[in-house]
Amino acid sequence: MSTMNKLKELLGKSLKLVMFIIFTIAWTLFVYTIKGEWLYFVPLFVADVLFWKTINWKFWKKREKKEKKKKSEVRNWFDAILFAVIAATLLRTFLIEAYTIPTSSMEKSLLVGDFLFVSKVSYGPRVPNTPIAFPLVHHTLPGTSTKAFSDFVQWPYYRMKGLGEIERNDCVVFNYPTDDIQHPERPVDKKENYIKRCVGIPGDVLEIKESELYVNGEPQAKTEDMRTQFSYHVKTDRTGLNPKILLKHDITEGGLVSANGDYILHLNEDNRPIVENFANVNIVKRMVEPSGKRDAQVFPHSQDYAWNIDNFGPLTVPSKGSSIVLNTTNLPMYERIIEVYEQNSLEVKDDEIYINGELATSYNFQMDYYWMMGDNRHNSLDSRFWGFVPEDHVVGKALFIWMSWDKNNGKVRWDRLFNGIN
């Protein structure tokens, strides 16, 4: 046998092995979900067919010596590419997916240019809403505005059993809840992907006081790698701050705002003391919106709630099966849940609420919900603006950084490679 033929044979066996491993993982997840333990034996039979061949599965047929027709080179390449695409699609859909940090909403915990792996099995992989879709792309074909999926077949939401549940302070990738406003044609799993920190799980009571987050009456517990960042008013002696010095200390957001030497900089507990010690800096003060000042852009977008990004709540994160008393005052808090996420008809007549045509004075939630916030608190589009994140929007848990590119310096951040995410 020639060296080329040996290589082809080895490649064929390797592809079979990889295919078998992927099949075994996917089948195990399926069996675990439906609780059909006896089906665990199926991979053993598949392995026998592919490798061991101890059982003559064609014993009912007369054996005939038949010369195998050799595949053409084109066919070999086609089979290899097809297998690679199918394998990558299965891995991406049910096991793990790559994700890039595009914005600074998680600075300095996660940086722009960080490349992550996101685990689908941590919280359980979702069955695709639109199974007919172009492989290895999200919602749009690259370089076009053409959608990469078909609406011909649509499956309801179903999540396989995961390795665990979402915990407070997990960095979670999820589908942007209000993306349907700009793109109503996209199903849930084709909405834009966002990453934030889950600060509130079902049943939690959240409140922000003077920019500090409280969960169930206690200050937010911090993880080892959490680098929460806020906006600070920095007043100098009318001399400027050297941009290179700021960049050296990882201060990448904000800048000069007046001719009097006033700056607004985004700082955390690591670099704030450094700025305070600059010789030409007189004042470093956190910028906080006053309590009682209503921001119309802040959830729940109602005159009855004088909330802003720094003074917010309290509110309770809904849990599946829980019930609330419903009235026109708290309806703005839950109307999107009732009407959009849980797909009920909602109408208000003469200060009375009707759900699916019936008078409603209470409501039972059908899903769990979460509260997501960015660590860059004054530069983050998060739940403070669009409210709760439903469980069917959750994609997976951020695991670790496999690559990090610093565009400001044009180099790899070697110290961040393969760092776990907490």
Q: Do 23 and 85 belong together in one domain? A: yes
Residue 283, judged by CB atoms within 10 A of its CB (0-12, 13-18, 19+), counts as exposed
Q: Do 89 and 111 belong together in one domain? A: no
State percent of the chain over pLDDT 90.
66
Q: Do 239 and 193 belong together in one domain? A: no
Asked if residue 22 lies in contact with residue 30, where contact means CB atoms within 8 angstroms, the answer is no
Q: How many domains does the chain have?
A: 3
112: its two tokens? 């722009």
More confidently predicted of 38 and 269: 269
379 in any annotated domain: no
Q: Do 71 and 115 belong together in one domain? A: no
Residue 76 predicted with pLDDT over 80: no
419 in any annotated domain: yes
Q: What is the pLDDT of residues 212-268, one digit of tens each?
A: 999 999 999 888 889 999 999 999 999 999 999 999 999 999 999 999 999 999 999
DSSP string computed for 274-287: HHHTSTTEEEEEE-
Give the residue among 251, 243, 222 at the shortest CA–CA distance from 108: 251
For CA atoms 61, 63, 64, 68, give the dihedral sign: positive
414 in any annotated domain: yes
The CATH number given to whatever domain includes residue 422 is 2.10.109.10
Could you say which of 94, 129, 150 is where a domain stops? 94
Residue 37 predicted with pLDDT over 60: no
Could you say which of 238, 262, 286 is where a domain stops? 286
More confidently predicted of 308 and 69: 308
> Span 108-115, mean pLDDT?
94
* Model pTM score: 0.83
Could you say which of 94, 124, 158 is where a domain stops? 94
Q: Do 199 and 108 belong together in one domain? A: yes
Q: Do 112 and 81 belong together in one domain? A: no
248 in any annotated domain: yes
Q: Do 63 and 105 belong together in one domain? A: no
Q: Do 242 and 167 belong together in one domain? A: no
Domain hosting residue 153, numbered range = 97-203+394-422
Q: What is the pLDDT of residues 294-304, one digit of tens each?
A: 999 999 999 99
> Span 261-282, mean pLDDT?
94
d(CA 417, CA 344): 46
Q: What is the pLDDT of residues 40-75, one digit of tens each?
A: 566 666 665 665 565 555 555 555 556 667 777 777
The CATH number given to whatever domain includes residue 278 is 3.30.70
Q: What is the pLDDT of residues 373-403, one digit of tens each?
A: 999 999 999 999 999 999 999 999 999 999 9
171: its two tokens? 């960095």
